[in-house]
């Protein structure tokens, strides 16, 4: 299982690089849009659409990394009052529920892809499947990271 954890951490490293690239592309496109609008008096028809779709990908992939690093917002005030063994059980149940939810999102997300694959985005004319694919792809990485966090939690002794 340690090899699986290391493998997922390597995947997460790649996702981090991808997130940096997405953020850089967004910044460049937005900066050029502002420049072209105010300095050149023209505007790009596709910049807002591209940055919106990139933001969707950024959120879903970034959430998977935040889940792995246990950086997502949570309310732990009640759980922290229990002994560690009870905390471990409650947290494990939360991650198991999350895994079930992510499986549901992957399944439904793939169904949505079938429905939107022939739709085109208004400005860039790309398949809307590329925008909607962020949901099942992101949920898949959230699923993987939930499994790793659950595994690490149950290995911990305190």
pTM above 0.85, yes or no: yes
Write down the pLDDT at residue 158: 64
pLDDT at 6: 94
Give 79-112 pLDDT, tens digit per residue.
889 998 999 999 999 999 999 999 999 999 999 9
Per the CB < 8 A criterion, the answer to whether 120 and 146 are in contact is no
At 94 the pLDDT is: 94
The tokens for 119 are 């739709």
Q: For 8-50, how does the pLDDT look when each residue is reduced to its tens digit (9 = 90+)?
A: 999 999 999 999 999 999 999 999 999 999 999 898 899 999 9
Q: Tell me the percentage of the chain whose pLDDT exceeds 90.
A: 86
Q: Can you say how many angstroms the Cα of residue 32 is from the centroid of all Cα atoms in its chain?
A: 26
Q: Say what angle helices 47-68 and 134-155 make with each other, to 10 degrees.
A: 10
Tokens 């959430």 sit at which residue?
A: 63
The answer to whether residue 133 scores a pLDDT higher than 90 is yes
Mean pLDDT of the chain, nearest integer = 94
Rg (CA), the chain: 20
User: Which residues pair with residue 127 across a beta bridge?
Assistant: 120
Percent of residues, the chain, with pLDDT higher than 70: 99
């Amino acid at each position: 299982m340690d090899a699986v954890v290391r493998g997922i951490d390597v995947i997460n490293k790649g996702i981090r690089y991808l997130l940096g690239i997405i953020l850089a592309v967004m910044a460049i496109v937005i900066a050029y849009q502002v420049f072209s609008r105010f300095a050149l008096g023209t505007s790009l028809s596709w910049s807002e659409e591209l940055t919106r779709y990139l933001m969707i990908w950024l959120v879903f992939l970034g959430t998977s990394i935040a889940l792995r690093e246990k950086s997502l917002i949570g309310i732990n005030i009640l759980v922290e009052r229990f002994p560690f063994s009870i905390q471990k059980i409650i947290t494990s149940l939360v991650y198991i529920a999350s895994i079930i939810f992510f499986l549901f999102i992957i399944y439904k997300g793939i169904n949505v892809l079938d429905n939107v694959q022939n739709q085109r985005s208004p400005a860039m004319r790309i398949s809307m499947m590329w925008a909607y694919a962020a949901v099942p792809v992101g949920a898949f990485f959230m699923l993987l990271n939930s499994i790793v966090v659950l595994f690490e939690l149950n290995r911990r002794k305190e």
